[in-house]
Amino acid sequence: MRYILIATCLATILLAGQHAIAAEQAQKAEATKSKAEVLEQNAAAGGSKALPSPSEIITKSEAQAVDPVGTEPLDEAITCLSRTIYWETKGEEAASMEAIANVVMNRLGKKGFPNTICEVVRQGREQGACQFSWWCDGRSDDAEDDKSYGIAKEIARKALNRQLTDRTGGALYFHHREVTASWSAEYIKTVEIGKLIFYKPHGGTAK
């Protein structure tokens, strides 16, 4: 009887600890989403020169708490950016992942593009031609590789914190090497990274 009582007490303590951890993670995730919203607003208003204040900077643990396994709804900045980085660069190195983050952030608030990351990612669906193919390919948007998605979230965090160097030279567009893009002749090719080719408009204005 004594052992049963001890086991019950231990189980209760462990359960309470798990609930406390879950509550802390949920609280951290909500706080991070609020920070991310402010950061994307600043980025849209101020471009790449807009730097966050120390209190606005998202930490690594905060970013990882938002969407641990890549199954959360796509309705806020970190999740939308992380999932875009993840799916557009499946199997690519970190440099390619950073470059996709650069493109999304470069578009944010520019003429011809929306003012939030999720709207940038979803742009074009209403016309049946998504800017980012993963968004309307009809497949599940849930991440399949925890390690790769963890890297994507870390890159998304740095992008929102304005801590990423722009590897693309100001690119607003890209396509995979295997794809023949008829529109590419209208733009300036800035760089090739991995299997991706990046472009910016003449004069810096989106078309």
In this prediction, residues 86-98 reach a mean pLDDT of 94
> Is residue 132 included in any domain, yes or no?
yes
pLDDT exceeds cutoff 70 at 49:
no
The model carries a pTM of 0.85
Beta carbons within 10 angstroms of residue 68's beta carbon = 15
> Is residue 181 included in any domain, yes or no?
no
Tell me how far apart the alpha carbons of residues 206 and 154 are, in angstroms, rounded to a whole number. 28
Question: pLDDT by residue (tens digit) across 148-187?
Answer: 999 999 999 999 999 999 999 999 999 999 888 888 999 9
The amino acid sitting at 155 is I
The range of the structural domain enclosing residue 151 comes to 2-164
Closest CA to 81 of 131, 116, 113, 109: 116
pLDDT exceeds cutoff 80 at 4:
no
Count up the domains in the chain and report the number: 1
> Is residue 194 included in any domain, yes or no?
no
Identify the pLDDT of residue 189.
Answer: 95
Tell me how far apart the alpha carbons of residues 90 and 87 are, in angstroms, rounded to a whole number. 5
> Is residue 205 included in any domain, yes or no?
no
Would you state the structure tokens that stand for residue 122, as one six-digit string? 């979803």
Tell me how far apart the alpha carbons of residues 73 and 80 are, in angstroms, rounded to a whole number. 9
> Is residue 185 included in any domain, yes or no?
no
> Is residue 172 included in any domain, yes or no?
no
Quick check: 90 and 137 in contact, CB under 8 A? no
Tell me how far apart the alpha carbons of residues 76 and 74 are, in angstroms, rounded to a whole number. 6
Question: pLDDT by residue (tens digit) across 130-140?
Answer: 888 898 888 89
> Is residue 30 included in any domain, yes or no?
yes
pLDDT exceeds cutoff 80 at 19:
no
Which distant-in-sequence residues (6+ apart) come within 8 Å of 148 by Cβ? Answer: 86, 90
pLDDT exceeds cutoff 90 at 142:
yes
> Is residue 184 included in any domain, yes or no?
no
Identify the pLDDT of residue 28.
Answer: 79
Quick check: 115 and 126 in contact, CB under 8 A? no
